[in-house]
């Protein structure tokens, strides 16, 4: 596996454990996804370019730094990626938000596209794709393909729980894309659910099951 960064920060690991618990209710699940996204976002944005500026403080001039150029764009994969948007926007309130609608056909397990709207200046931004689950990797790979087709050259994928199969798929289809996650689980089951995982992220976030 290449280009994979697994966050082992104790706060992230603790919250991932609560998220996995089948007794965690929808309200708690939603809050945890948002909090983990914010904590991960702090590291994912570590390489944002800075420029020097002079700021007048009450007692003098400080030579200091601010983020330079256009801010990031974030692209949640609908539905479950929506749960990670708030946390990222708390860190990056000026980030533009694109949306890609994909669902996995339960029989073929292939991603089916139903929506795609990206910021007009997406090609001038670094785009971070958000989805809590990287299972077969089909959905994330398709989303990254759409974003690349819009001329975006810098893309990162941020998920919460990844299966080895999903990471391999992204490595193969998009070797230029870094994958950030909080856990790499054992395997997929016969329905391509991550084991032990956390179940269906979309259903748990929105209370649809």
> Which residues of 105-171 form beta strands (DSSP E)?
111-117, 127-130, 133-134, 155-158, 161-162
If one counts every other C-beta atom within 10 angstroms of the C-beta of residue 7, the result is 20
Contact string 45-84 vs ligand PRP (x = CB under 6 A): --------------------------------xxxx----
- Decide if residue 130 touches ligand URA (CB under 6 A): no
- Decide if residue 78 touches ligand URA (CB under 6 A): no
- Is 24 one of the catalytic residues? no
- Decide if residue 197 touches ligand URA (CB under 6 A): yes
- Taking CB within 5 to 8 Å according to partner kind, which of ligand PRP, ligand URA, none is near residue 193? ligand URA
- Decide if residue 167 touches ligand URA (CB under 6 A): no
Nearest to 104 by CA among 84, 131, 73: 131
Cα–Cα distance for residue pair 57/61, rounded to 1 Å? 6
Smaller CB distance to ligand URA: residue 123 or 200?
A: 200
Contact status, residue 111 vs residue 173, Cβ threshold 8 Å: no
Among 135, 152, 179, 183, which residue sits at the site for ligand URA (rule: CB under 6 A)?
A: 135
């Amino acid at each position: 596996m290449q280009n994979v960064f697994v966050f082992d920060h104790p706060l992230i690991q603790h919250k991932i454990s609560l998220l996995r618990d089948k007794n965690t209710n929808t309200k708690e699940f939603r809050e945890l996804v948002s909090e983990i996204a914010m904590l991960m976002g702090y590291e994912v944005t570590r390489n944002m370019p800075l420029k020097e500026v002079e700021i007048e403080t009450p007692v003098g001039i400080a030579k200091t730094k601010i983020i330079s150029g256009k801010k990031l764009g974030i692209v949640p994969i609908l539905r479950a990626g929506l749960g990670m948007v708030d946390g990222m926007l708390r860190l990056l309130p000026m980030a533009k938000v694109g949306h890609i609608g994909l669902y996995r056909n339960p029989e073929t397990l292939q991603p089916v596209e139903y929506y795609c709207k990206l910021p007009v200046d997406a090609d001038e931004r670094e785009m971070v794709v958000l989805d809590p689950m990287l299972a077969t990797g089909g959905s994330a790979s398709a989303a990254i393909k759409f974003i690349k087709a819009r001329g975006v050259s810098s893309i990162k994928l941020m998920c919460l729980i990844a299966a080895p199969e999903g990471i391999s798929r992204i490595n193969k289809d998009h070797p230029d894309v870094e994958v950030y996650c909080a856990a790499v689980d054992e395997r997929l089951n016969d329905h391509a659910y991550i084991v032990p995982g956390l179940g269906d992220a979309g259903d748990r976030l929105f209370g649809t099951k």
